Structure 1
Amino acid sequence: MKKKKSILALMMVIVMCMLSACGTKFDAKAYIESCLDVQFKGEYDEYMKLTESSKKDSEKLYNDGIDTFMKGYESLSLPDELEGKFRDAYKKMLKSAKYSIKESKETDDGFVVTVAVKPMKCFENYEADLQKLQQEFLADMQEKIAKDGKMPSQQEIMEQMAEIVYNDLEERISKCEYDKEVTVDVKVKKDSNKKYTANETDLGKVAQKALGV
């Protein structure tokens, strides 16, 4: 489980992307909300309308984030069925994010949109908990080997560990509680092509706060 830290980092990669909207009758609040909806919920209609993006491109934003998250588990060589379970659990986690758009203020070079989020508490101490799960699993495995005299294959060990990690992830999501509401300001500026673009770093902060990682 050397991938623990990268998995935590990849939980917030979903919003680390450039998102542009046309300048005509620009609604900064609606724009930021649509950006978050496509990334967290996989809802594209409003985003497509505001940014004049195709459904294919909009879906790609959502799916690329999930694909990137799954790279954190490549070392486990997941079978197709278990990989599908991880993908579904991650989608469920994203849809569990709680956020809302509070206000938008116009500035000299664009807008500042205030996003309110309730941070998930289900991933507190996640890395330490995963390490503990790994240690317990290895101890149980060694005890079983000593008792039965049978050594499982490396693939069997990895799949069993992956199943434990998945069950832990699913339980965390299903029982997730939330912290007090906090706000994050997202800057939106017009670029050289006269299109409004959300600040990537600010969107990353929204994801970091929302997922509690």
Structure 2
Amino acid sequence: MEDFLVKIYEVESAARNAQIAALVALVVAILGALVNLYIACQNRKASIKIGRLSAETSKKIGELNIGELEKRRFIDTISGQRIEWINKLRDTFVEFNKLSHTYSMYVFSNQNKSDFNYGGIYQEIIAVKNHIELLLNPEELFSENLMKYINQLIDSLHSHDFNMENYKENKEVISYIQQVILKSEWKRIKVETEKGRQITNKEMKRIFKKIGKKIDESKYNKLNLFN
């Protein structure tokens, strides 16, 4: 009888253990499913967030690219206009130098004569001077001084007391300033192209000073423009 009861107890214990094992397995399965579901939800949220950030980033990059393209197009347009202007200014300088030299030779050879309008060249010199003045920026010191020396040279050419040495001195200063202006403007184009923007007046002033000293520091110091 005792053995029988022991067997019944063992059977019942085995059954309880099986139930507990089954319950534990079920709980583990449910927890595993919940964990997987949580991970899936988090992954989905992360994917949505990443997708949104990616879309926003792409939009911003697109806007930046458009902005850069617009800036580049603007600078390219400005640079093209500057190149055209520099070429016109250079040609006008060349024309003025040629006419003033021709007229100086005539005046020097005919100082005792009253005709100071040789072949209409004087009127041509005045016309070219006016053209130069229109092309230049009057707010820049080198431009202002160029016109000052050009007017002095023209006055000397139309004077009965023409002095070739004074003429040559004015001519040297004019030639120097012309070079500084042209080289500085080419430098401006290069810098603006590299920076992708128009440079400030302060930056341009530094360019004028650097190139002015590089071409001829003694003439730069004599003009004393930025001191």
Same fold at TM > 0.5: no
- Structure 2 length normalisation: TM-score? 0.30
* TM-score, length of structure 1 as denominator length: 0.31
Which of the pair is proportionally richer in strand?
1
Q: Return the structure number with greater helix share.
A: 2
